[in-house]
Amino acid sequence: MEGYGKQVLYQKAGFILSYFQSEMQLSDAFFSICKDKTGKSTRYLTDAAESTTFFKEWNLYAPADILSSIKPGTADYVELY
């Protein structure tokens, strides 16, 4: 992500990937880097009308149920043999 240099990219990616930290074996250091690169701006994951819940850790507004349909440890795809 370094090449993109966009604070919002670190902020949104860090927020989403934190939900899958253990599954993806992402270190705390990875998230520390993401947080260091996010800056101080408050942003919205989606549009402001639906992003009504504030996630302080990431200084980000997102829909309250944004991750409720995705459960760690499940695969929502079909394997082709």
The yes-or-no verdict on residue 64 having pLDDT over 50 is yes
Place of tokens 């082709």: 80
How far apart are the C-alpha atoms of 2 and 21, rounded to whole Å? Answer: 20
What integer pLDDT is reported at residue 73 of this predicted model? 52
Give pLDDT, residue 67: 73
* Domain spans, the chain: 2-62
Q: Are 65 and 53 in contact (CB under 8 A)?
A: no
- Is 60 exceeded by the pLDDT of residue 79? no
- Tens-place pLDDT, residues 4-63: 678 999 999 999 999 899 989 999 999 999 999 998 999 999 999 999 999 999 999 999
d(C-alpha 58, C-alpha 40), whole Å? 10
Helix (H, G, I), strand (E, B) or coil at 36: helix
Q: What is the pLDDT of residues 66-75, one digit of tens each?
A: 877 665 555 5
